[in-house]
Amino acid sequence: MKGHKLSLTRIIILSGIIFFILPNFLLAQQDFDIKANYSKSEQMISMRDSIKLFTQVYTPKDKTQKYPILLFRTPYSVRYYGDDVYRTSLGPNELYAKEGFFFVYQDVRGKFKSEGEFIVMKPHKTVKTSSKDTDESSDTYDTIEWLLKNIPNHNGRVGQWGISYPGWQTVMGMIDAHPSLKASSPQASPADMWIGDDFHHNGAFRLMYTFGWLSWNARSRTGPSESRSQGFDYGTPDGYKFFLELGPVSNVDKMYFHKSVPTWNQYMEHGDYDEYWHKQNVLQYLNNITHPILNVAGWFDAEDFYGPMSIYYTIEKNNPNNKSTLVGGPWLHGGWARMTGDELGNIRFDSKTGEYFRTNVEFLFFLYYLKDKGDFNLPEALVFETGSNQWKSYDHWPPKETTEQNLYFHPDGKLSFDSPAAHPNESDQNKIENRKSKIVNQQFDSYISDPNKPVPFSQEIRTSQGHLWMIEDQRFASRRPDVLVYQTDVLTEDITIAGPIIASLYVSTTGTDADWVVKLIDVYPGDAPDNDPNPCNVRMGEFQMLLAGEVFRGKYRNSFEKPEPFVPNEVTKIEFDLRDKCHTFLKRHRIMVQIQSSWFPVIDRNPQQFVDIYHAKESDFQKAEHRVYRSERYSSHLKWMVIK
């Protein structure tokens, strides 16, 4: 963020922790009668190609001042249809209605009461030669233009916000933005659905989520309607059982969808990172973005964490004079908007981080840029440091105060900052042996990966992935024979990391393909006190808190566009990003890394043969032995940035 000049009425900073003292207009919020203070109208707003989008406009009845416009565009239904059916809250939360804005809600093209065709993650068109060349950017522009011309008493300023898919709609509004768009807050927006967001991670298909989302949100329709699609009936609460009995993903359409979900079948024809996926990647379009951006990410977001981080990094890189800010907190997907934020699952954060964000950050951001209210100084990066449980402010992300550090795998499940020594029995000939030799005499740990008995992603019995598995106790996984476990000795001092976490692995397999899942875990002391209250009787002693986890489909190790088989038993390097974190491993805790080759059914099963997985047969799925090397020469490790 450059040239971002804001300062709050009063800020207190103690030991790197930021405390905001609230202005008077934020204090003592009371119940507010929306219907008594706002009038509502419903419009069909015509786009440049004459397609009309259903739009609700809430207008302040008080005409003594001019108001800015807050825009929300969604594929999930604006709901509350009918001129006399009012929302119970306006804007991002209950703070906004009393303050006074025009609130605009819109069903996006092809969804619910809007006309047109809905295309999942419709690609942006950089060149538009006629009125028929439309995308979500042009629809946002045309909507703002209509509002400015048809709503009296506005102040000429528009803000847009959204979470998840509406967050992506907000990003699309930032591209070729309308001049009156003065503030945007994309929150948990996806950026690339093949590299790291909802539908794939590093080429691995996110089966459980994609199946559920597309079956509910991407079915063919006959025309505009207020009705929502019915969720899929799994016939069982056990998603692991359902998806295992499904067999290969090629069975989905013929067994369940029957061509009623066209996007699913498109995905099945585009297994690699081809042009279909390339043109959906929003990062390539993030140029000339000069208005203020509040980018929000949840450290434990199970759906879209790659998106907001990569959007922030790209805006910083491509727009030297940007006014972009990153906020990262201890939240699940969208949790900052609806939860107090003082806990997630069994982990406590000691303060109401969600309420803090809503009142001290998001609300003040829109007030300043849309109403010139407040004197507010937002840092480049405002992040919540888990473990130590405190807000931190940085003028750069990752922080410049960090130094790189490696964490190496050792024999007997040890994890250490010391690099491995040479194997005592390793000959000089072996030391100069070509890395890709088929004859390997190195230190390693191995396990048998069986696609018919995949490692579950969670202990919960459920058909949707949910959220809490991103911070769940991993003891259930650590006890399986197909999960490698490495951990440090008990820490004698705090260790704080901030920024990306990179897994650098040397591996081999008896098959020709494999998935590699790496999980970073904070292990609590044996005498850690249980939570109070503790309705589920969870014992926190030796609790293995999942901090970060990511999967990589091995055949894409050299190219996402051109997959390559493994040569059986040949040592191969794989390196991938577990994504950013800001966390303190406290003294007396331990650091653990788990490695496995399935994460089911969040990730589809890899046949462990080099085949087109989307068209694989059951007979293609084979057991394989996987090895992870930890010698001086092949030193598998994590690398991260440590704040000293």
pLDDT digits (tens, 9 = 90+) for 540-570: 999 999 999 999 999 999 999 999 999 999 9
pLDDT interval class at 431 (50, 70, 90): very low
Q: What's the token pair of residue 528?
A: 């850690």
Reported as a single tens digit per residue, the pLDDT across 586-643 is 999 999 999 999 999 999 999 999 999 999 999 999 999 999 999 999 999 999 999 9
Higher pLDDT, 96 or 426: 96
| Whether pLDDT at 572 is above 80 | yes
Reported as a single tens digit per residue, the pLDDT across 287-326 is 999 999 999 999 999 999 999 999 999 999 999 888 999 9
Amino acid at 541: G
Strand partners, 473: 545
Q: Provide CATH code, domain 200-278.
A: 1.10.3020
d(CA 162, CA 170): 6
* Residue spans per domain, the chain: 11-194+279-341+350-385, 200-278, 402-643
The stretch 407-425 carries a mean pLDDT of 86
The stretch 208-213 carries a mean pLDDT of 97
Reported as a single tens digit per residue, the pLDDT across 191-203 is 999 999 999 999 9
The stretch 389-399 carries a mean pLDDT of 97
pLDDT interval class at 402 (50, 70, 90): very high
Mean pLDDT over each residue of the chain, to the nearest integer? 92
**Share of residues in the chain with pLDDT > 70 (%):** 92
Cβ atoms 471, 463 nearer than 8 A: no
Q: Which fold has domain 402-643?
A: Jelly Rolls (2.60.120)
Reported as a single tens digit per residue, the pLDDT across 57-86 is 999 999 999 999 999 999 999 999 999 999
- Return the residue matching tokens 């006014």: 323
Q: According to the model, what pLDDT value does residue 487 have? A: 98
d(CA 444, CA 438): 15
Reported as a single tens digit per residue, the pLDDT across 145-164 is 999 999 999 999 999 999 99
d(CA 296, CA 604): 29
Q: According to the model, what pLDDT value does residue 223 have? A: 87
Comparing 394-408, 428-442, 563-577, which segment has the lowest mean pLDDT?
428-442
| Whether pLDDT at 440 is above 70 | no
| Whether pLDDT at 13 is above 70 | no
DSSP string, 80-135: --STT---SS-SSSTHHHHH--EEEEEEPTTSTTS-S---TTPPP-S---STT---
pLDDT interval class at 442 (50, 70, 90): low
- Scanning 223-339, the segments in alpha helix (DSSP H) are 239-246, 251-252, 262-268, 275-278, 306-318, 335-338
d(CA 589, CA 591): 7
Amino acid at 203: G
Q: How far apart are the first and last CA of the chain?
A: 24
Q: According to the model, what pLDDT value does residue 2 have? A: 46
Q: Provide CATH code, domain 11-194+279-341+350-385.
A: 3.40.50.1820
Q: According to the model, what pLDDT value does residue 221 have? A: 87
Three-state DSSP at 74 gives strand
Q: What's the token pair of residue 92?
A: 């991002």
Q: Give the number of other Cβ atoms within 10 Å of residue 479's Cβ.
A: 9
pLDDT interval class at 426 (50, 70, 90): very low
Nearest to 190 by CA among 297, 292, 262: 297
d(CA 66, CA 316): 33
Q: According to the model, what pLDDT value does residue 1 have? A: 54
Q: According to the model, what pLDDT value does residue 228 have? A: 82
Reported as a single tens digit per residue, the pLDDT across 104-121 is 999 999 999 999 999 999
Count CA atoms closer than 13 A to 243's CA, side-chain side: 29
The stretch 471-488 carries a mean pLDDT of 98
Q: How many helices (H) and strands (E) does the chain have?
A: 15, 28
| Whether pLDDT at 9 is above 70 | no
